[in-house]
């Protein structure tokens, strides 16, 4: 388990811009080192804010978008093209504006796909796709993602891992279906904590006063069953990217005073 690093920015706009610049650098470095890069995207206002900042960044063309694999940490189990699906929002924010290889954009199955309304079968299919992409050097059932992005919910959920629900207790499977989620829609697909922890780096994003309590709980030694965000960490780095409002409840010794 890697100890979390905390970076606090003045506001959510600056946080999104700084996170976008950080992610561009990470992708370029990974492509230089290994020929390609792998990123897991997150939805929600902070995930989409980061993608919007990426789209407007003058440095975005430094990335070879054809050598980037994109995955998702979770998805709302809704029909293809539904405006509430994370992949739909990601396409609107960034993906349709850059020259990605369609074969390397790994969207989670929709509710009107070949698995129909069977969310468990859809989750198993995504787990199988991750397994096919894993290499022997990954030592696991998923690729070693370069960066895995997660938004933090006001209840400390990440991806679609909600406090006390069965998905957050999963220790074997890499992807599971979720029923009865407290946040609509109730049916979802999500990576599990074992899959999240396979990433080289995990970045958790939180901005706004409504996230302050969740951030404080997750960074104060809470258990992952009660606070799933506390159980999300990377193999080499765990980075919390916050704005001042979300960091309001943290002791200042957790982050440098000079954080912009």
**pLDDT digit string (tens) for 5-23?**
999 999 999 999 999 999 9
Q: Looking at residue 37, what is its pLDDT?
A: 98
For residue 259, CA distances in Å to 5, 17, 18, 23, 89 come to 12, 14, 11, 18, 30
Task: Note the pLDDT of residue 242.
Answer: 97
Q: What is the pLDDT of residue 114?
A: 95
Q: What is the token pair recorded at 218?
A: 């997750």
Rounded to an integer, what distance in angstroms lies between the CA atom of residue 51 and that of residue 245?
A: 21
Query: CATH code for 4-254?
Result: 3.40.50.1360
- Residues 6+ away with beta carbon under 8 Å from 17: 53, 57
CA-angle at 232, arms to 227 and 233, nearest 5°: 140
Q: Which residue ranges of the chain lie beneath pLDDT 50?
A: none
| pLDDT for residue 136 | 83
Residue 140's pLDDT is: 83
Q: What ranges do the domains of the chain cover? A: 4-254
Region of residue 180 (left: phi > 0; alpha: psi -120 to 50; beta: else)? left
- pTM beyond 0.75, yes or no: yes
Contact between residue 195 and residue 231 where contact means Cβ atoms under 8 Å apart: no
Q: What is the pLDDT of residue 137?
A: 80
Max CA separation in the chain (angstroms): 52
Whole-angstrom distance, CA of residue 75 vs CA of residue 89: 11
Parallel, antiparallel or unpaired: strands 147-151 and 74-76: unpaired
The whole-number pLDDT of residue 260 equals 52
**Could you give the percent of the chain with pLDDT greater than 90?**
92
């Amino acid at each position: 388990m890697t100890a979390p690093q905390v970076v606090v920015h003045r506001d959510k706009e600056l946080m999104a811009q700084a996170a976008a610049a950080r992610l561009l650098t990470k992708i370029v470095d990974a492509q230089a080192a290994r020929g390609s890069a792998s990123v897991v995207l997150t939805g929600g206002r902070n995930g989409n804010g980061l993608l919007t900042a990426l789209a407007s960044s003058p440095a975005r063309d430094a990335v070879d978008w054809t050598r980037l694999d994109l995955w998702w940490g979770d998805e709302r189990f809704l029909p293809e093209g539904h405006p509430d699906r994370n992949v739909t929002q990601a396409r609107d924010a960034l993906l349709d504006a850059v020259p990605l290889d369609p074969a390397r954009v790994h969207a989670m199955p929709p509710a009107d796909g070949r698995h129909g309304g069977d969310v468990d079968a859809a989750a198993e299919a995504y787990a199988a796709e991750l397994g096919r992409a894993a290499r022997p050097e990954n030592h696991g059932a998923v690729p070693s993602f370069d960066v895995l992005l997660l938004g933090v919910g006001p209840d400390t959920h990440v991806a679609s891992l909600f406090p006390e629900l069965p998905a957050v207790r999963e220790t074997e499977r890499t992807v599971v279906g979720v029923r009865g989620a407290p946040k609509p829609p109730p049916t979802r697909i999500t990576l599990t904590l074992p899959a999240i922890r396979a990433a080289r780096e995990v970045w958790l994003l939180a901005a706004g006063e409504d996230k302050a309590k969740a951030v404080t709980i997750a960074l104060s030694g809470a258990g992952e069953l009660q606070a799933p965000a506390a159980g999300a960490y990377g193999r080499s780095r765990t980075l919390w990217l916050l704005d001042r409002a979300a960091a309001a409840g943290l002791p200042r010794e957790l982050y440098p005073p000079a954080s912009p």
